[in-house]
Structure 1
Amino acid sequence: MTSIAPLSRIPETEIESLLDRAFGADRHGRTAYRLRAGTRWMPELSFAALDDAGRMVGLIQCWPVRLENEPLVMVGPVAVEPDLQQKGTGRALMDAMLAAADASDLPGADALMMIGDPEYYGRFWGFSADATAGWIIDGPVERRRLLARLRGGRTVGAHGAIRPRIEALVG
C-alpha cells in the first residue's frame, strides 16, 4: 500500500535518482525541461508516493510557468519506479496533486498545463488540447500532447508563448 506525502520531505538526491530511473539520465534535454528552466518545483503541489517501508516509489512535480503574462502551473513529471508502474501509483499522485490544486489559490493553480497522453489525462482528469492550439513552446512537441485543464471558468489566451515564471522565485 502506498501513501502520499509532500515531496519537500524527500532529499533532492533521491528525487533526481528516481527521475533518472524512470526517464533516463538524458531527460534534461526534453522540451518539458526547457519550459520550466530556471524555476523550482512548487512544494504545495508536488508529492511523493511512499511504500510501506517509507521508501519513495513515485513522485509528481508542478512548476510555475506562464502564457505570456498569465500564470499557469505545469504538471509533471509524474515518475514511478519502473518495476512498479501500471499499479495505480501515478494515478494516486495525480489525484493528490489535483485535489491540492483545486483547493489552492496559488497563481496558476486554476490553469494547469502538461505534455502528456491526451487519451489518458483527458479520460481521468479532464485535460485536453482544446485551448492549446495557438500556444508556442521552446522545443519539439506533438501538438495533441500539449494539454490544459482549466478550473472554475478560468480562461487563458488562445495564442502566446509558454515560458518559465521566474518571478515565482522572489519572496
Structure 2
Amino acid sequence: MDGRSISPLVGEIDGGCAFAIAPESPADVPAREALLDRAMGPKRKRKSSEKLRRGRQPAEGLAYVARGPGGSLVGTVRLWDVRLGEAGEPALLLGPLAVDPQMKGEGVGTALMRHAIAEARQRGHAAILLVGDAPYYARFGFSAEKTGELSMPGPYERERFLALELVSGTLDGAHGVLKAARRNGRSEALARAA
C-alpha cells in the first residue's frame, strides 16, 4: 500500500523455502480474495468484523501479504481503523488473518501477526482488537481482559473478542459498540479533491 519493501526474508516453509512479507498491492486483491475463500469458507463475509470493513480501505500502511516460492500469495493480514464505542477513541481491528491451508503450521501466520503488531506500534497506534481463537492470539499478548465493556456490531462470540494494548491504559474505561472509522472510498476521494 505504501510501496515500502518489508522484511524480504522472514521465515521458511516446506523445509527451507523462504517466504517474504510485503505491503499488499492492488494486484494482490484477486489472490487475496481466493486465499480468504479457501481458508475461511463462504460464510466469511457474514461475520460482525466484516460489517466494520465493508466498503472501507485498511488503515494506512497496515495491509500485508506473505509470498511463498515463486511469489505465490500464502498469507494475508489487514488492520482497520475503528472507534472505541461511546468515547470514540481510535484503535485498530485486525482481520482477517489467513494462511493458505497447505501452509498451516509453517510459521506464516505468526510472522504476519508479529509484523502487523510491530508496524501498528511503529505507526503510533495504541490498541488492536480482533475476534479470534484466544489460545492462538494469547501468544501475541491478546486477551479478553479489557473487552468486557466493548462489543461488536452484530453477533459474535464474546470470549473470542480480544484486545492488545500497544499503549498501556488505552482501553481503560472504553465501552460501547465498535464503529468503523476513516478510509472509505467516498471520504478518500473527497480528501484528495480538497
Using the size of structure 2 for normalisation, the TM-score is: 0.79
Displacement after TM superposition at 1:83 (Å): 1.3
The more displaced of 156-165 and 77-86 is 156-165
2:92 equivalent to 1:73: yes
- The SS at the match of 2:183 is helix
In structure 1, the gaps of 5 or more residues are: none
Name 1:33's counterpart in structure 2: 50
Q: Alignment partner for residue 153 of structure 1, among 160, 168, 172? A: 168
- Structure-1 separation of matches of 2:106 and 2:46: 28
Name 2:112's counterpart in structure 1: 93
Amino acid at match of 2:114: D
Name 2:6's counterpart in structure 1: none
- Structure-1 separation of matches of 2:66 and 2:164: 23
Q: Alignment partner for residue 63 of structure 1, among 66, 77, 80? A: 80
2:121 equivalent to 1:102: yes
Distance 1:103 1:89, change over 3 A: same
2:159 equivalent to 1:144: yes
Could you give the per-residue CA deviations for residues 49-87 of structure 1, whole angstroms, max 9, x where no partner exists?
101211111111111111131111001111111111111
Amino acid at match of 1:19: L
Q: What is the total number of aligned residue pairs between the two structures?
A: 166
Q: Which has the larger radius of gyration?
A: 2
Could you give the per-residue CA deviations for residues 74-118 of structure 1, whole angstroms, max 9, x where no partner exists?
01111111111111110010011111111112xxx2210000111
Identity fraction in percent: 36
In structure 2, the gaps of 5 or more residues are: 1-17
Q: Alignment partner for residue 125 of structure 1, among 128, 140, 143? A: 140
Could you give the per-residue CA deviations for residues 116-153 of structure 1, whole angstroms, max 9, x where no partner exists?
1112211x211111111111222222211101111232
Q: Alignment partner for residue 162 of structure 1, among 162, 178, 191? A: 178
Q: Alignment partner for residue 3 of structure 1, among 8, 20, 25? A: 20
1:73–1:111 Cα contact (<8 Å) kept:
yes
2:59–2:183 Cα contact (<8 Å) kept:
no
Using the size of structure 1 for normalisation, the TM-score is: 0.89
- The SS at the match of 1:155 is coil
2:160 equivalent to 1:135: no
1:8–1:43 Cα contact (<8 Å) kept:
no
Name 1:20's counterpart in structure 2: 37
Aligned residues: CA RMSD: 1.6
